Amino acid sequence: MSKVSEITRESWILSTFPEWGTWLNEEIEEEKVPENNFAMWWLGCVGVWIKTPASANICMDLWCGRGKATKKVKDMVRGHQMANMAGVRKLQPNLRNAVGVLDPFAINEVDAIVATHYHNDHIDVNVAAAVINNPKLDHVKFIGPQYCVDMWTKWGVPTDRCVVVKPGDSIKIKDLELIALDSFDRTCLVTLPARGAEENGGELNGICPSDEEMGLKAVNYLIKTPGGNIYHSGDSHYSIYYAKHGKDYDIDVALGSYGENPVGIADKMTSVDILRMAECLKTKIVIPVHHDIWTNFMASTNEILELYRMRKDRLQYKFHPFIWEVGGKYVYPRDKDLIEYHHPRGFDDCFEQEPNVPFKSIL
């Protein structure tokens, strides 16, 4: 038993964080995905781990950092997307809300670290370090658009471990195929660096972004698996071009970044946007993500469920929402009829042993 004289701030941190320890790492490693299914786990924000029957493992947008941690800094850094978007200077109060459920330094089996874009809550130097410094993972590739690769190599990830993708590119990983698609992350477009901004004194005014620039900064992904296809929209806003993707690809499960935008900000999809995205994509299931992570963008998923109930019969929706929990597992198509997730409740072995109580009536 520990004594108070032996406890330090450092020992407290090491014994407490990540809050889930290696529980989820072990669960993912032990998972045997049934044939014609896929399994995925929500890692927080838009991070997901996807596993297939042939044990293809990809880890997308895992972020193990934290948000604001002190009030001593009063202003945003120059070039921050919110500062550019709304002309604000005061530091946004984006404290991390979701717990850390995966230990990157306990990853033993993974085929690729994948990123949708280069914003801090989607690409992580700690994850990169954990993979690069683990000899068992020397085969792992880092896959993302050019700006992500620029960031990885700046951190020290070898160039030959990185794979640049742009819309239209595809990569085969065992029984999984990763297809890069157009992103609609307009917040990313107003984030520095941006081509032409440096010559313009760091100002974006008067600089017209292109589809090519968007593809260098961010991509969406279609992940084709033996159990069905997943559409990962990164931090994309709502776009009518989702309808194009819905016509071009068969989509079973779609992930959309949802949140309650503060006044003056348009960064996350609203509840209506999530439903419209799902309808356009012709997906069977839509799952809101990202609403968990930032204290100043948190939103109620009940709003999505209520709007869905109001609209589904009148608009004849062919999909339904699934409301997840961070750290939770979703197996498709096995879980296709679920509407809301609950973590395993345990105690399934109740009364397999004789209770240790004075008398039965106490029960």
Question: For the residues of 19-73, what is the DSSP string, one character each?
Answer: TTTTHHHHHHHH--PPTT-EEEEEEETTEEEEE-TT--EEEES-----S---SS-
Q: How many CA atoms lie within 13 A of 50 on its CB side?
A: 31
Nearest 10 degrees: Cα torsion 50, 53, 56, 59: 10
Give the position of tokens 């157009």. Answer: 182
Question: For the residues of 74-101, what is the DSSP string, one character each?
Answer: -BPPTT-HHHHHH---BPP---B-SPP-
3-state secondary structure at position 187 = helix
Q: Is residue 300 part of a domain?
A: yes
Residue 31 sits in a domain of what CATH number?
3.60.15.10
The whole-number pLDDT of residue 290 equals: 98
Measured over the CA atoms of residue 339, residue 343, residue 345 and residue 348, the dihedral's sign is: positive
| Number of other CB atoms surrounding residue 220 within 10 Å | 25
Give the position of tokens 């990164």. Answer: 234
The whole-number pLDDT of residue 124 equals: 98
| Number of other CB atoms surrounding residue 71 within 10 Å | 8
- Ordered per-residue pLDDT tens for the chain, 363 residues: 679 999 999 999 999 999 999 999 999 999 999 999 999 999 999 999 999 999 999 999 999 999 999 999 889 887 788 888 898 999 999 999 999 999 999 999 999 999 999 999 999 999 999 999 999 999 999 999 999 999 999 999 999 999 999 999 999 999 999 999 999 999 999 998 888 887 888 888 888 888 999 999 999 999 999 999 999 999 999 999 999 999 999 999 999 999 999 999 999 999 999 999 999 999 999 999 999 999 999 999 999 999 999 999 999 999 999 999 999 999 999 999 999 999 999 999 999 999 999 999 999
Q: Is residue 111 part of a domain?
A: yes
Q: CA-CA distance, 47 to 177, in Å (whole number)?
A: 18
* Tokens encoding 342: 């609950």
Q: Is residue 340 part of a domain?
A: no
* Tokens encoding 138: 């020397």
The residues, any chain, with a CB within 8 Å of residue 137's CB and separated by 6 or more, are 107, 108, 110, 131
Q: CA-CA distance, 54 to 272, in Å (whole number)?
A: 37
Give the Å distances, CA to CA, from 216 to 179, 183, 188, 212, 245: 15, 10, 10, 6, 19
Give the Å distances, CA to CA, from 10 to 14, 16, 19, 137: 6, 10, 15, 28
Q: Which residues lie across from 323 on neighbouring strands?
A: 340
Which amino acid type is present at position 75?
Answer: D
The whole-number pLDDT of residue 1 equals: 64
* Tokens encoding 329: 């597992």
pTM of the predicted structure, to 2 decimals? 0.96
Q: Is residue 269 part of a domain?
A: yes
Q: CA-CA distance, 285 to 320, in Å (whole number)?
A: 5
Q: Is residue 5 part of a domain?
A: no
Q: Is residue 262 part of a domain?
A: yes
Q: What is the count of structural domains for the chain?
A: 1
Q: 329-332 and 320-321: which strand pairing? A: unpaired
Q: CA-CA distance, 299 to 258, in Å (whole number)?
A: 8
Q: Is residue 87 part of a domain?
A: yes
Q: Is residue 356 part of a domain?
A: no
Domain boundaries, position 324? 17-67+75-332
Measured over the CA atoms of residue 105, residue 68, residue 42 and residue 13, the dihedral's sign is: positive
